[in-house]
Amino acid sequence: MDLIINSNTCVGSEIYSKLSTQYTSPLIGTLIPNDYEYIKFIKNFKRILDYPINITFIPKNDTIFEKQTHNKYYNHIQIQTPYPIIQVGSVDIHCIHEKDANTTLEKFKRRVERTKNIIKAKNYNILNILVFTEIITQVDDYQQIIKKINLE
């Protein structure tokens, strides 16, 4: 049985590392700083894998993340900006550990295909992990918010 771990932070890759298993999610070493986009991604996961994939170095403007941190990019001493950002539908996936757009896009597409093949085999579980969330800090009943987020 394969385990697909979707996390809005690098936690997923840490879990794969502890399990000593191959990455079976496209969200490895990535950050989805907008909780609402992450929830949209996981609620629509199987369909979103077929969406067109674009790459840029320019994050969206005026996001909750930017308002909270006063920065469009994730700011950490070990992270070099600008870094590549994968765009799938309306979701921005910050590839904070990458530098080269072509390599980043290639890795992401390869992992998407691996994930799609696992889903076709119908022998998998999906673990979705939401960490460092603005929803929990801003909203008392975050489960209601999650239920209300519309799919694309």
DSSP assignment of 63-76 equals -HHHHHHS-SS---
User: Per the domain annotation, does 3 fall within a domain?
Assistant: no
What pLDDT score was predicted for residue 27? Answer: 95
User: Per the domain annotation, does 38 fall within a domain?
Assistant: yes
What pLDDT score was predicted for residue 68? Answer: 79
Local confidence band at 92 (pLDDT 50, 70, 90 cut-offs): very high
Reply yes or no on whether the pLDDT at 152 is more than 50.
no
Q: Which residues contact 44 (CB under 8 A, 6 or more apart)?
A: 89, 151, 152
89 three-state secondary structure: coil
Reply yes or no on whether the pLDDT at 106 is more than 50.
yes
User: Per the domain annotation, does 109 fall within a domain?
Assistant: yes
What pLDDT score was predicted for residue 36? Answer: 85
Across the chain, mean pLDDT equals 87
Q: Which residue has the higher pLDDT, 77 or 116?
A: 116
Closest CA to 93 of 51, 146, 142, 148: 51
Residue range 126-150: average pLDDT?
65
- For residue 95, what are the domain limits? 11-148
Reply yes or no on whether the pLDDT at 104 is more than 70.
yes
User: Per the domain annotation, does 1 fall within a domain?
Assistant: no
Reply yes or no on whether the pLDDT at 142 is more than 70.
no
pLDDT digits (tens, 9 = 90+) for 12-65: 888 888 889 889 999 998 999 888 899 999 999 999 999 999 999 999 888 877
Percent of the chain with pLDDT over 90: 55
Q: Which residue has the higher pLDDT, 152 or 36?
A: 36
For the chain, the domain total comes to 1
Reply yes or no on whether the pLDDT at 91 is more than 60.
yes
User: Per the domain annotation, does 91 fall within a domain?
Assistant: yes
Q: Which residue has the higher pLDDT, 152 or 129?
A: 129
Phi–psi pair at 129, nearest 5 degrees? -120, 125
